[in-house]
Amino acid sequence: MADVNLFTPGRIDGFDTKNRLIMAPMTRSRALAGGVPSDLAIEYYTQRASAGLIITEGTAPCADGLGYARTPAIESPAQVAAWKKITDGVHGKGGRIFCQFMHVGRIGHSANRYTKTQLVSPSSVKAAGQMWTDSMQMQDFDAPRELALHEIPGVVDEYAKATKNAMAAGFDGVELHSASGYLPMQFLSTNTNLRTDTYGGHVNNRIRFAVEVLEAMTKAAGSAEKVGIKISPAMPFNDISDANPVETYTTLVKAIGSMGLAYLHVLQSAPEPSYFKMLRPLFKGPFAAGGGFNKDSGNAMLASGGADFIVYGKLFTSNPDLPARFQKNAELAAFDPNTFYSPGAEGYTTFKSL
């Protein structure tokens, strides 16, 4: 493995990747009302087509799954048509793009949603904290209601429908967002899952939702090779915590390790314990590592065999041609947190390639 670096072509099952850089899923809050991606997103993603693989911003698989201001969904014909223009743009530049399905579960506010339904979660445990709304600035998270047992197959099916929509929109694959305190992680974690039925309690029950969703997405995509998953073990973001993350995530990854998935994407948010080291041997397939990598640490990770792909987030916001800049040892543009979620082109499509 010693000769593998960021510029070695890779393989994400159905296709060869130009390099080993994956653009991380990043919410950028430029979508139009009703969860429709704006035309600005065509330029934004197309500018970044030199990544080995682009993973889109978190995209709601269904109206219930949308919680943030100006974020997109992929359930309606208008949303699918808008995404098709984006995938066409990326493919036109020889890029590849997966759609990340982000169902927020309990992390949302009614002012950001186009449905009037209440937030849903494995249990009715309100998240501590606040989020941005355009009409009322910062607001406490809404309280969620507990999903009834008989409703869960319907939620799983919404991911399957979204997968079919993503395929119709020309995506190369789909990623289940099971990280950062959103719905699948709410099922995995002991502070948000207080259920006593087959979806709660024992770890084998808490992983059930994520496994069933991956199976449904695989069936809808026609192949597991088109389905990836992102996890962020022990990450406290969005008021989430688990009594035993080592047990939870080793159990989950063992359960999905032989499904033939496109990849396992792990966001490591603290130095120790290394979930990269712990989980890589349990997963038979491409392993993507993310969280604070630069060029040197990415190359070192690949050379050591610790991962097959490196996922870069913030650096891709301000360096659309990040692979070329790394390869040429060119200067990197500093990212600008002030424009991560602001409306309009500024800080979104205004960072140019060299």
Ligand X SMILES: Cc1cc2nc3c(=O)[nH]c(=O)nc-3n(C[C@H](O)[C@H](O)[C@H](O)COP(=O)(O)O)c2cc1C
| Residues binding ligand X (CB under 6 A) | 24-27, 57-58, 100, 102, 177, 179-180, 230, 267, 290-293, 312-314, 340
Looking at beta carbons only, is 103 or 208 nearer to ligand X? 103
Distance CA 224, CA 239 (A): 31
Q: Which residues contact 185 (CB under 8 A, 6 or more apart)?
A: 178, 179, 192, 231, 232, 240
Q: Least distance (Å) from ligand X to the CB of residue 80? A: 19
Around 85, how many Cα atoms within 13 Å sit in the side-chain half-sphere? 14
Q: Which one of the listed residues 182, 275, 312, 348 is annotated catalytic? A: 182
Minimum separation from the CB atom of position 248 to ligand X (A): 18
CB of 15 to ligand X, least distance (A): 21
Q: Name the closest residue to ligand X (Cβ).
A: 313
Rounded to a whole number of angstroms, the minimum distance from the CB of residue 29 to ligand X is 9
User: CB of 175: closest distance to ligand X in angstroms?
Assistant: 8
CB of 201 to ligand X, least distance (A): 27
Give yes or no for a contact between 264 and 283, defined as CB atoms under 8 angstroms apart.
yes
Most distant pair of Cα atoms in the chain: their distance? 56
Sorted by sequence, the CB contacts under 8 Å of residue 137 that are 6+ apart come out as none
Q: What stretch of H or E contains 281? A: none
Closest CA to 100 of 39, 144, 45: 45
Phi, psi of 130 (to 5 degrees): -135, 160
In Å, what is the CA distance from 330 to each residue of 51, 93, 319, 322, 352?
16, 22, 11, 9, 13
Please identify, using beta-carbon distances, which residue of 177 and 195 lies nearer to ligand X.
Answer: 177
Cβ proximity to ligand X: between 106 and 195 the closer is 106
- Are 234 and 269 contacting, i.e. CB atoms less than 8 angstroms apart? yes
Q: Which CB, 158 or 195, lies closer to ligand X?
A: 158
Tell me whether residue 178 or residue 200 sits nearer to ligand X (CB atom).
Answer: 178
> Would you say 146 or 276 has its CB closer to ligand X?
276
* Residue 88 tokens, joined: 């066409």
Give the residue among 184, 185, 176 at the shortest CA–CA distance from 239.
185
Residue 345 tokens, joined:
């082109």
Q: Check if 182 is active-site.
A: yes
Active-site residue list:
182
